[in-house]
Structure 1
Amino acid sequence: MSEIGYVRGDATAPQGEGVKLITHVCNDVGGWGKGFVRALSRRWPEPEAAYRRWHRERAGNDFGLGAVRYVQVGPYLWVANMIGQRGTRTGAKGVPVRYDAIDRALASVAERAAELDASVHMPRIGCGLAGGEWSVVEPLITERLLTRGIAVTVYDIDGSDGSDGS
């Protein structure tokens, strides 16, 4: 089994050859505008448009914690919008991150990555505005992706705290 590759750089400009799947965490209330999603929206309009449509039409679809929608943004490039946080703010029930939802979403990402023969690229999902701990998220990635032989690269922006800002 390989290890997660850690690099300094921008997860919206994934490195390497072949099909790539950029994975990130979204909230379950339809909010898009802070953290990593801003970088996605600067590069491509499709992931935000798909997320907003998915939320708007949620009464008739699977929108909710643990769900994932895949958006193709280039011939060999996809974005996975994973619903892995409840709300957008820390409150009486704790931080927004929901590790069980991220775990379920990563299981779906593993299936899609295998279908596409894709590598997976991400910021430190769930560990920015969502308030998660990388020491909890990293083993989920190992279990769901690395054990299946899927290459994973995690990107840290220079000068950042290593979080994705979800």
Structure 2
Amino acid sequence: MAEIAYVRGDATAPHGKGVKVIAHVCNDLGGWGKGFVLAVSRRWPGPEAEYRRWHRGRAGNDFGLGAVQFVRVGTYVWVANMIGQRGTRTGSKGVPVRYEAIDRALDTVGAEALRLGASVHMPRIGCGLAGGTWSRVEPLIAGRLTARGVEVTVYDHDG
């Protein structure tokens, strides 16, 4: 079983050789404008454009909690837009993070990473604006990715 590697740095500039999937959590409202997605958009316009197109066409596609959209941004780099939060604000129903949706999305990411022979790179998904806790997310990553032999690097951003 692989282990999660923790490094300081920018998940949009993943370390290592070979094919890489950058996984991050998106909301189910079609909103893209705060948090890690801003770093993604600064580096590549494709993931945001594809996410917005996916949301607009949601009546006829799989857009929703637990779904994943893979966007190729380079010869060896993909971005996985994972729908893992309900809305964008903490309210009467609690924080936006939906652990079950992240778990389902990570299962899909794991299968695709194995198909591509890729490693997976991410910030501490679901723990920023989504309001989740790493103690709940880390076991999902271990179960869906590292237990299957997928190498995972988690980036803690400086600043």
> What TM-score bracket applies, with the shorter chain setting the length?
over 0.9
Letter in 1 for 2:82: M
Runs of 4 or more off by more than 6 Å in structure 1? none
Cα root mean square deviation, aligned = 0.4
2:90 alignment counterpart? 90
Shift of 1:129: 0.3
1:152 alignment counterpart? 152
**TM-score scaled by structure 1?**
0.95
Secondary structure at the aligned position of 1:74 is classed as coil
In the alignment, structure 1 residue 35 sits paired with structure 2 residue 25: no
Shift of 1:43: 0.3
**TM-score scaled by structure 2?**
0.99
Percent identical among aligned pairs is 77
1:163 alignment counterpart? none
Structure 1, unaligned runs of 5 or more? 160-166
Number of matched residues?
159
In the TM superposition, 1:55-94 aligns within 5 A as: 55-94=55-94
Q: What is the CA–CA distance in structure 1 between the aligned matches of 2:39 and 2:2, rounded to whole Å?
A: 28
2:101 alignment counterpart? 101
Letter in 2 for 1:96: P
Secondary structure at the aligned position of 1:25 is classed as strand
Secondary structure at the aligned position of 1:70 is classed as strand
Shift of 1:2: 2.2
In the TM superposition, 1:15-34 aligns within 5 A as: 15-34=15-34
In the alignment, structure 1 residue 111 sits paired with structure 2 residue 101: no
